[in-house]
Homo-oligomer: A and B are copies of this chain.
Amino acid sequence: MIRKLTLGFLLFASVVGYTQENLNFNQQKEIVSPQINADKTVTFRLMAPNATKVELQGDLLEKGTAPMVKQTDGVWTFTTTPLASELYSYSFIVDGLKMRDANNVYQIRDVASVVNVLIVGAGKADNYLVANIPHGTVAKRWYNSPGNNGKQRRLTVYTPPGYESSQQKYPVLYLLHGMGGDEEAWSALGRTAQILDNLIAQGKAKPMIVIMPNGNVSQQAAPGEDAKGLYKPTMQLPNTMDGKMEETFTDIIKFVESNYRVNATANQRAIAGLSMGGFHSLHTSRFYPKTFDYVGLFSPAIMPFGKTTSPVYENFDATLKNQFNNGLKLYWIAIGKTDFLYKNVADYRKKLDGLGVKYTYVESEGGHTWANWRDYLMLFAPQLFK
């Protein structure tokens, strides 16, 4: 009987046997791309025998693009110079048409586009890579927001290793995305779980819960994850910087503090965000006094553009001064030297200096990039809840 039944497995075991599957694996000639070499150069390959011009485009190239060279077998190749340890993104441009690398399954959506990514390790980016250490849990969960018409909204929750098996209460970092992002941005592009796992395993950061909400109050969830279906995402959404996110932030805090084992005190709460999320962090932490003792502004926007009637932005100076005089432990601002928000942040620092309050300022190379925001998280998280 066993002999009889195993016959089909000659087929089953073969690649051909799987051509019935709709969403099939790649049947092109076996090509490895990208290939990260021992000297930290990276080789890219694209099989395109009919193409007349192929370029590589990505943030790993100083000039932004580089010509690829056609080999006799129809494969176009390019090898970079040795690269700094980092997460990079890239595309191919084939006869003017931008396309992704069919041989690289690793890619991340950012707003309305998807790019291939690679990580060059043996350096800083080892903090983004998965190591053989205890891992936290990442959950996509829904909460009710009474302040937002009772909408169900989705957030991402990182609970640290050991959370489920302990009775301990944990501190919470609320970590906010920028414009065009959503509750998936920090976990995908920001590699929050990997960074926290590594920092905690190394004893550099305290075990903490990280809450990554969706900062677009008009949205229930990331594109494709709510009842609007699989629509095309857009960069700009209504009501992102008009006070509504800050006004309804207490819905998130209440949900977290009644659903997770957390210490519900200001010295066990941190809030940080990038760009628009820095803006939300700035105003949320100021609007709710004695709520967050740790604040992180990563390449932050500072003030609302356009008119808003929200009470969130009233009495700015008084509430700001009040915030600094009420037990605040860390007010951490970071921005890149070439960031288009650099001037805004410089002006804001002047204002803080004028008020005579104490904050930490970090100026990095580079601009408004996820490379910087991952670095900022790695610098910020170890300072929390000490």
Contact = CB atoms under 8 A, between A and B. Distances in A.
A230 B20 contact: no
B105 A114 contact: yes
Contacts of A99: 97, 99-100, 102
Interface in A318-375: 338-341, 343-344, 347-348, 351, 367-371
A155 to B, nearest CB: 10
A112 B20 contact: no
B227 A303 contact: no
Given A135-B152, A227-B131, A368-B21, A113 B8 contact: no
Contact of A95 (B50, B104, B180, B351): B50
Interface stretch (A23-31, A65-73, A168-176, A206-214): A23-31
Interface core residue of A21, A105, A109 (most chain B CB under 10 Å): A21
Contacts of A302: 5, 8
Nearest to A89: B23
B4 A347 contact: yes
Contact of A138 (B139, B165, B317, B343): B139
Contacts of A48: 97
B1 A305 contact: no
Contacts of A89: 22-23
Contacts of A348: 5
Contacts of A179: 18
A140 B142 contact: no
Contacts of A236: 13
Contacts of A115: 23-24
A84 interface: no
A253 interface: no
Given A9-B301, A96-B50, A137-B141, A103 B232 contact: yes
A290 to B, nearest CB: 24
Interface string A295-311: 00000011111100000
A226 B130 contact: yes
Contact of A6 (B108, B305, B340): B305
A22 B106 contact: no
Nearest to A228: B130
B97 A105 contact: no
Given A105-B224, A227-B132, A351 B1 contact: yes
Given A130-B226, A233-B105, A368-B18, A8 B138 contact: no
A79 interface: no
Given A50-B96, A110-B25, A340-B17, A9 B140 contact: no
B119 A303 contact: no
Interface in A3-53: 4-6, 8-13, 15, 17-18, 20-26, 28, 32, 47-51
Interface of A: 1-2, 4-6, 8-13, 15, 17-18, 20-26, 28, 32, 47-51, 59, 88-89, 94-100, 102-115, 117-119, 121, 129-132, 134-135, 137-142, 152, 154, 161, 164-165, 179-180, 189, 221, 223-227, 229-230, 232-233, 235-236, 259, 301-306, 313, 316-317, 338-341, 343-344, 347-348, 351, 367-371
Given A102-B114, A104-B232, 5 more contacts: A4-B347, A17-B340, A20-B338, A22-B371, A132-B152
23 contacts: A1-B316, A2-B303, A6-B303, A9-B301, A12-B305, A12-B340, A12-B344, A17-B340, A20-B338, A21-B369, A22-B369, A23-B117, A23-B189, A25-B180, A28-B98, A32-B232, A94-B97, A119-B230, A131-B227, A134-B142, A138-B139, A138-B140, A164-B259
